Structure 1
């Protein structure tokens, strides 16, 4: 046999790393504890933008303001789905990978745990004095008596000829296993909420009502298994809304309390009941929670067109421009005006005060001296009948509209309108009158069937992790000879030997109690 043939016979055949081997490697990597921890960290890290960046499902007004103030940044946020973090594709990918990883971790852990429960403690070593914790005392002690005393200390006990073996601390593994199961339960609860729950936002002006139907929402985000019939048939009317402000001191103008007084009908057949809705005190009806998340002003206007007909009359919700003073921008659209449609750009000031340059500004967020500044009046086609969607907070393509000149009350230094005052528009286009002030609130309705299961799972996870950290697995061995009892002990968790020393001393005291030295 040649040297080449001899080397070929000695060299092991290399097996190809095929598809099966790759799948096994991917599965082992995905279900490892390290991967699960990394995915859990990524899930927590991915939740951070959901708290820092305004979410469309929670506060669409802030999203709209961000588009106005910084459209470039808003586009990048939207590109990475940061306005909808918890429904984004990347968050769902991390969520599903973590779900799979936890299942892969739990199944083998459960099998190992069940085997450990059935396994009996090992026999006592012949020389227990070599164990990390050891003690001995003189006297006669029966094997059955030693076993009974250890059982009273909640040890699992096995006896033999002249020896006793005891073990406890399985709650450590129980806590570890239930912690992983609880994490899986949290993910399942979140998934159930996404499938069978829904969220919606609506703006309600004082005096108006809301019925829990899909058409009544300004924004509705249903789960994939939610239909129009799934919504609870409740309704309410906003009777009044009040905000208490700090009126003196350094924090003057800071909001202290919000109260929305509702007339609630829990069902179409039930009678109305009063309910005071406050921040962090939601209205709950059959699992659907209604949260108060925002507020603002809705000045009331009456617009008469060029033919003397009242073309518009009612409140106009305004977009807040300055939160500290509640200065708000308003847009009034009058598509029914004749002979031409009318549009107005306005600024509402709840507490208007004159400035040294002749202008006006709001000095306080409360409604003390409400006035409206007319910034622009336009006529022409508002584009509201074109079928294209447009924001209620802006005029679509105002540069294509005809600006009414001379612009009455249109400069920043012009005297604004107080309640009850009106302005005639030029060229006989009509008249606009400021007739009063109402307030609006934004509400979020949320139905989440996984909310309670998630709470139970989270509480279970806390208790389970406490058990796995506080309880140690330990063993105690007793060797009984003629007139001598040797006791040894050890723990199966690193770093817990010091804490076991006191417990081991107490165990020795229990075993030696009442034992007589008959030498």
Structure 2
């Protein structure tokens, strides 16, 4: 009788673990965000998102143009304001794209960098058994070159080489080249990260302002927000952080082509005072900015400032120097001189708001037959003005242009034309007597320079990033990774000696010239050439 031993039943398998759906969602989202495809899409979206910044006026660049856009498009402007159309680069949607791109690049580049470092430390892999199955191969032929000499020849051609001896007596020479392609890719992406960091920190800690600086010691400028025509401070910058310096435009020289009036060169000479130090005379041009401590002064334009003296009906005189803005390449310039505090009765010492004076018109450096200048230099200057008397509209506190009169005051009749239909022409030194006995004298002109004063603490970082990005792009486009193997077998006893060499090659990237390079390597190995 056979006894059957009963074996215990195997333990039941544990129930399968349910996957954590939240963790899986986060992991897959991170992988998707850090893929190269997503980075390219975000880079494209960032370029598209920057387009409105070049179409619509930006408050950080020119707040006056934003005000004019509101007046020209009263229905569209509020919608653009809510969408951040006038502050594109500071809007939340632009910042979200910017930060997503930054995160995507970091998550994409860091793993690739680690993999690249790991591949650089590894030796080229051993030759496959069947070299004839590779895209490029050469049959075994006799060669007098030893494997060591073959390795030296490949090293001279900047290949990474590894020799391996096998049990069957064969020796393989593994060579690899082209890691600079991935190095260039990584340099380019890290340079792009550097540029993104520079732009971000430059926006936070940078500032800029524009100022029209008229020549003359009485027209000096010191670095404070109140003296800028328009300015923008970074979110991390306050008015107290601005550096201490003052500028005075001593001279401005402009040269033009004698026939066409095209500009040849511009040079501004300024007196500079930094941190209450001595006055220094400095020159700078359009492409060579004035570099100060924590500020760069760029020359971006110039023009003529008109000096006029108005003597009111009571004999009191006021002199003003006002910049006129060029409207064409020949420097036909338009502007306005306003005298709100004139015609004050000496008996009552009160000002009549209806007796304020404004003069609007054109300045022509060289008068021709028409209403425009024929040459940008002051060969035959003349000033054409229209006089207005009444309320200039300056007392209500509404911001307006300093280069034109308030058209609303003219339309309502609060500001009346008292000079007739045609503007009055004045040469330098001439005086115009108005209907109430008051006078306006054209004293002369002074040059002025339009300055853009900026500070960007990450300017050097952005420059380095741009240069490295260009270098990385060139390496990436010019590099081609490929591998070459040689297998050396002892020659048969009937041969003349030497070794039998078989070769194979594999391009790791698209490289049309690999066929010719492989052929030259095989030829050098067979003939014993270096």
Please indicate, yes or no, whether the TM-score normalized by the shorter chain is above 0.5.
yes
Question: What residue number does 2:288 align with?
Answer: 281
Provide the rounded CA distance (Å) in 2 between the counterparts of 1:125 and 1:353: 86
Label 1:98 to 1:263 Cα distance change in 2 as closer, same or farther (>3 A): same
Contact 2:507 2:514 in 1 (8 A): no
Correspondence for 1:5: none
CA gap 1:418/1:84 in 2 versus in 1, 3 angstroms: farther
Within the candidate set 201, 214, 223, 1:192 is matched to: 201
Q: 1:99 aligns with which of 99, 102, 111?
A: 102
SS of the residue corresponding to residue 323 of structure 2 reads coil
Q: Provide the residue aligned with 2:352 in structure 1.
A: 340
> Structure 2 vs 1, CA of residues 403 and 197 (structure 1 numbering), >3 Å: closer, same or farther?
closer
Secondary structure of residue in 2 paired with 1:317 = strand
Structure 1 segment 38-437 matched on structure 2, within 5 A: 38-47=41-50, 57=60, 84-135=87-138, 136-139=140-143, 142-153=146-157, 154-161=159-166, 162-164=170-172, 165-207=174-216, 208-248=219-259, 252-275=260-283, 277-286=284-293, 288-310=295-317, 312-335=318-341, 337-338=343-344, 339-341=351-353, 342-351=356-365, 353=367, 362-380=373-391, 382-384=393-395, 386-396=396-406, 397-399=408-410, 402-403=414-415, 407-412=417-422, 415-427=424-436, 430-437=438-445
Change (3 A) 1:296 1:56: farther
Aligned-partner SS, 2:399:
coil
**Shift in Å at residue 315 of structure 1?**
0.4
Instruction: Kindly indicate whether the alpha-carbon contact (under 8 Å) linking 2:323 and 2:335 is maintained by their aligned counterparts in 1.
Output: no
- Which has the larger displacement, 193-202 or 279-288? 279-288
Aligned residues: 490
Cα offsets for 1:284-309 (capped at 9, x unmatched):
12352211112233211222334332
Which has the larger displacement, 506-515 or 463-472?
506-515
The answer as to whether partners of 2:136 and 2:506 remain within 8 angstroms in 1 is no
Residues 242 and 140 of structure 1, relative CA distance in 2, 3 Å threshold: closer
User: Which segments of 5 or more consecutive residues in structure 1 lack a partner in the other structure?
Assistant: 1-12
The alpha-carbon deviation at position 187 of structure 1 amounts to 0.8
1:314-364 CA distance string (max 9 Å, x none): 2012344445451313141423541324131410222475869xxx65444
CA distance, structure 1, for counterparts of residue 368 and residue 525 of structure 2: 90
Deviation at residue 204 of structure 1 after TM alignment: 1.0
Deviation, 1:104, is 1.8
**Aligned CA-pair RMSD:** 3.6
Seen in structure 2, the aligned counterparts of structure 1 residues 177 and 381 have a Cα distance that, compared at 3 Å, is closer
Q: In 1, are the aligned partners of 2:330 and 2:373 still within 8 Å (CA)?
A: no
Q: Does structure 2 retain, via aligned residues, the 8 Å contact 1:296–1:326?
A: no
Distance 1:76 1:362 in 2: 41
Summarize the Cα distance change of 1:141–1:300 in structure 2 as closer, same or farther, 3 Å threshold.
closer
The alpha carbon displacement at 1:510 in A equals: 4.5
Deviation at 1:450, TM superposition (A): 1.6
Superposed displacement of residue 146, structure 1: 4.2
Cα deviation for residue 238 of structure 1 reads 0.8
Cα contact 1:409–1:416 (8 A) shared by 2: no
Distance 1:143 1:364 in 2: 79
Partner residue, 1:3: none
Distance 2:171 2:388 in 1: 100
After TM superposition, the score normalised by the length of structure 2 is 0.80
**CA distance in 1 between partners of 2:147 and 2:374 (Å):** 88
Tell me, what secondary structure is at the counterpart of 1:41? Answer: helix
